[in-house]
Structure 1
Amino acid sequence: MITRSSGILMHITSLPSPYGIGTFGKEAYEFIDFLVKSGQKYWQLLPLGSTGYGDSPYQSFSAFAGNPYFIDFESLEKDRLLKKEDYVDLDFGRDREKVDFEKIFKNKMAVLRKAFENGKEKYEEDMKGFKEENKDWINDYGLYMAVKNQFHLKPWQEWDEDIKLRKKETIKHYEEILKNEINYWVFLQFLFFKQWKTLKKYANEKGIRIIGDLPIYVAEDSADTWANSEIFLLDEEKKPIKVAGCPPDAFSVTGQLWGNPIYRWDFLEQTGYEWWIHRIKDSYKLYDILRIDHFRGFESFWQVPYGEETAENGEWVKGPGNNLFYAIQEALGDIDIIAEDLGYLTQEVIEFREETGYPGMKVLQFAFDTREESDYLPHNYDKNCIVYTGTHDNDTVCGWFENTKKSDVNFAIKYLKLNEEEGYHWGFIRGAWSSVGNLAVAQMQDFLGLGSEARMNIPSTIGGNWQWRVKKEDLTDQLAEKIYKITKLYGR
């Protein structure tokens, strides 16, 4: 149950680190201490899954596996799986404010292979227990990643026919010849979960709860679509028949073509939504609260014929609605879920979310469109909502002021009584923190007053996204005290 409180949105990748990308290392523990000093109760993350082409955490190789990039070298050194010289002088990227994913992929994964070679015998018994605990997905994931490497990282639809179609004798063949490689990928998951559980325990003991993020869809090129192809709308050759997206709107004249496979909701219903229940249950091993992305897609979703170049020629199709969430509740009991209900909402979608009782989202940047009265203006909120200055898909607040039309900016200044002495970004945060919404969240970039150069993602673009990193020296006690004061002032 979310009561009046606040939190900070910043992904693991954005943490400071001398090794090119944020990890579950000491800087993550220091950030938790910063949250405590700031009077916060929540740390919101983006999905923790392993990323592929485009480096998007919303297009992962698995709905269950974690990102090996987050494994901390110094912790592995303490566990005697690495020596300092194995990693200290390698080039993981020279820019402290941006992740160089190409260098991380090339150099970090090579170091993690050393850790595997040094640790596979030491942790042999622990690994057996880990495999048993995660048997529903770990073997398929390990095999998928091993075969993917065998086929030079090609998508699974481009593998040889016999392994693409998962013929039993072929599966056995690859399990034998790639045994060591499979164990490497499973071992990385063992390390990921070991380090994350320790970090999350520290956060929880300090009074910080973790908000995780669950993409509604899985990637076309993923262990999930390969190993569970029967739950997706695929043809006999395992190619998607329809894919997911968003229809044309004011933000995109051709819509957004995400390209994810569509679920066969009729088939999932026959199984009692088993795969989805398993997915949600496993997510609560990682997080305390779950934000479900594109929540409206459970009521109705936009599907587009496979091979289309835009999302224009799609259609709305009814989703599972509350049948899915009744099944989840029956299996897992009452759980904390945030419904990402942004975008154009029909009355049916509004009623669907209200029936679940889950809080929706209010984004302050969407409030100041002078063409119409907006539901995102704080005087329209009720308590059962999560208020954001902006999300990972938005510009930073300072970037918004730079790039938004003058009439909307003037409306925001008037409505929130903004002034330059306070700083417009702090006025925006004040607007969220002073609202009646039970939970207020701002991106770390907004507390730092950073511009568009610190933006996390521009939707429907590939390249240059997901890279922003905070500098260690920016997370000062003075900033923590300032956040604490505004948090205390508004009873959060």
Structure 2
Amino acid sequence: MPDSPTIAGRASGILLHPTSLPGPGIGDLGEHAFRFVDWLVEAGQSLWQLLPLVAVNEGGSPYNALSAFAGNPLLISPAELHLHGLLPAGSVAPPEEMDDDCVDFGAVAAWKDEVVRRAYRVLVESEDEELRAEFARYQAENAEWLPDYALFRALRERHGGKGWVAWPDALRRREPAALAEARRELAAEVERHAYAQYLFDLQWSAVRRYANAHGIQIVGDVPIFVAHDSADVWAHQRLFNLDDRGMPTEVSGVPPDYFSETGQRWGNPLYRWDVLKQDGYRWWIERFRRTLQMVDVVRVDHFRGFESYWSVPADEETAIHGEWMPGPGRDLFDAARRELGALPLIAEDLGIITEEVEALRDELALPGMRVLQFGFGGDDPENPHLPGNYVHNAVAYTGTHDNDTALGWYADADGDARRAVQKMAGGDDDMHWRMIETVLNSDAGWAVMPLQDVLGLGGQARMNTPGVPEGNWAWRFRHGALTAELAQRLAELVSAAGRAPDPRAPVGIATDETVEEE
């Protein structure tokens, strides 16, 4: 770790994706998002960590999205649109069969699509010149990615949801005449998808401003890889390892690890880092720029892949037969810093971490991650996830979105792990609170708990199970679960651990501007 820690002070926060908020069918950017911020303040928190806010495909995974730049239209609040005159009365009510306990992404997508269509109709029929001017300004400010994304969504819609490799050859190959014709034929549909992004940004910006005004920093997330069926790969095919048909020749994954004996074959196309470098890493720089317009701090998912990544032949069914390939290393981050200045980043340095990965993280002076659940069950006294080994320049978690909940993990842990955590916690009653308290009292600069752990929920509330394609991302909590008593208990633990908010010492990550230039 660097001699000068980049995490300022001590703070704590909650990991919760907005889809998990209360509300009809799915959490959104309306009333419950603001009320959640209020509860965070009451609970003595300083951080709200999210999963990627990107537009998701039919499976709902924010790590396999339709775009690395576009916000998730499923998060648009119909009630907020109506409140601001952007949606007519009667367009707010969701279908009666919507579930309050989990997200049915297919049903929600159909409903929110109709909401956006009606809101777009308001725009088309409106005489509000200010609204039109604001939308035009938004389009101009996001011209780097929005036109391709909106056309991609319109074409995907036109072709029944099929991936871009199944489109007519001229569109798949992005022949200029075919693209121009598509933009003419689908002008209204393209504008509608662009308008959905305007509405998303309008609502998310309001939530973020409210959070920041109340002392809450937003921690976002950038997955290293993008989905093959995405606007990014379709629009920038030369940046990825694809064959003449547009299919990946090698795909992403990780070798066998804690989560899977056969590794994880993620299946994302891999970057042509040599081409990206020739471009000055422009696509990545714009991705960082866009993300930092939406959040205050960025967790860089699968950071080790920037040092070296696991390349799996596309015809392999598992990730076993892959090989490590060199990533861009510091070169990418230096290029982004030269263009964007400060980069408040957190390195997700989990998995198979080598000395080279640690060296890259430390050269960039980035805080890493520590996960309490990974600290038990082995006999390595130097395990970095053991609480006694935490350093200040790290973010400590009871678990992440890829882990079981604290109680779910404890229920399934083997005897050695259970005994070890009991010894650490001084007992086994209220184990989720004991694990939370351990993380809060650690030396890590920041401590973050998934909301499921604060609520004391078991494995049924798990957000994601790596390697399992179905049944993920759907968990939600109900209105009324975040009580004043729960906030008070958490606030007391936070205060006792020296993590209570202090207006004289703002929460933040010292940027890598202080890193010595090469």
**Same fold by TM-score, threshold 0.5 exceeded?**
yes
Match of 2:237 in 1: 229
Q: Deviations over 1:335-367 (max 9, x none)?
A: 210000001211111111111110000000000
Secondary structure of the corresponding residue to residue 486 of structure 1 = helix
Tell me if 1:44 matches 2:49.
yes
Secondary structure of the corresponding residue to residue 480 of structure 2 = helix
Q: Deviations over 1:116-142 (max 9, x none)?
A: 111234432222111100000000001
Q: Deviations over 1:24-70 (max 9, x none)?
A: 10110000000001111000000000111321000111110000011
Secondary structure of the corresponding residue to residue 48 of structure 2 = strand
State the AA in 2 paired with 1:255. Answer: G
Mapped contact 1:92–1:103 kept (Cα < 8 A)? no
Mapped contact 1:396–1:446 kept (Cα < 8 A)? yes
Equivalent-residue separation in structure 2 for 1:128 and 1:155 (angstroms)? 29
Secondary structure of the corresponding residue to residue 411 of structure 1 = helix
Tell me if 1:351 matches 2:359.
yes
Match of 2:482 in 1: 475
Tell me if 1:9 matches 2:18.
no
**TM-score, normalised with respect to structure 1:** 0.97
Q: How does 1:232-251 map to 2 (within 5 A)?
A: 232-251=240-259
Match of 1:435 in 2: 442
Of 250-259 and 320-329, deviating more is 250-259
* Structure 2 residue ranges without an equivalent (≥5): 1-6, 500-518
Mapped contact 1:9–1:43 kept (Cα < 8 A)? yes
Equivalent-residue separation in structure 2 for 1:125 and 1:164 (angstroms)? 33
Equivalent-residue separation in structure 2 for 1:449 and 1:179 (angstroms)? 49
Q: How does 1:355-366 map to 2 (within 5 A)?
A: 355-366=363-374
Match of 2:492 in 1: 485
State the AA in 1 paired with 2:403. Answer: N
Deviation, 1:108, is 2.1
Once the two structures are aligned, what percentage of the paired residues are identical? 42
Which structure has more RCO (C-alpha within 8 Å, separation ≥ 6)? Answer: 2
Q: Are residues 335 and 3 of structure 1, via their aligned partners in 2, closer, same or farther at CA, if it must alter by over 3 Å?
A: farther
Tell me if 1:454 matches 2:461.
yes
Mapped contact 2:65–2:226 kept (Cα < 8 A)? yes
Deviation, 1:326, is 1.2
State the AA in 1 paired with 2:46. Answer: K
**Among candidates 279, 294, 298, match of residue 271 of structure 1:** 279
Tell me if 1:102 matches 2:106.
yes
Equivalent-residue separation in structure 2 for 1:195 and 1:447 (angstroms)? 27
Match of 2:507 in 1: none
Match of 2:512 in 1: none
Secondary structure of the corresponding residue to residue 236 of structure 1 = coil
State the AA in 2 paired with 1:33. Answer: D
Secondary structure of the corresponding residue to residue 489 of structure 2 = helix
**TM-score, normalised with respect to structure 2:** 0.92
Secondary structure of the corresponding residue to residue 369 of structure 2 = strand
Deviation, 1:327, is 1.1
Deviation, 1:199, is 1.0
Mapped contact 1:92–1:108 kept (Cα < 8 A)? no
Q: Deviations over 1:207-260 (max 9, x none)?
A: 000000100011100000001111111122221111111112343221100010
Q: Deviations over 1:68-126 (max 9, x none)?
A: 011011111112232342232523623x2211112101222112211111123443222
Secondary structure of the corresponding residue to residue 243 of structure 1 = strand
Match of 1:75 in 2: 80
Q: How does 1:289-308 map to 2 (within 5 A)?
A: 289-308=297-316
Match of 1:394 in 2: 403
* Structure 1 residue ranges without an equivalent (≥5): none
CA-based RMSD? 1.2
Equivalent-residue separation in structure 1 for 2:11 and 2:413 (angstroms)? 29
Equivalent-residue separation in structure 1 for 2:391 and 2:402 (angstroms)? 24
Mapped contact 1:370–1:411 kept (Cα < 8 A)? no
Tell me if 1:188 matches 2:192.
no
Equivalent-residue separation in structure 1 for 2:374 and 2:33 (angstroms)? 31
Q: Deviations over 1:297-323 (max 9, x none)?
A: 000000111122111111100101111
State the AA in 2 paired with 1:26. Answer: E
Secondary structure of the corresponding residue to residue 194 of structure 2 = helix
The count of corresponding residues between Structure 1 and Structure 2 is: 488
Equivalent-residue separation in structure 2 for 1:263 and 1:2 (angstroms)? 34
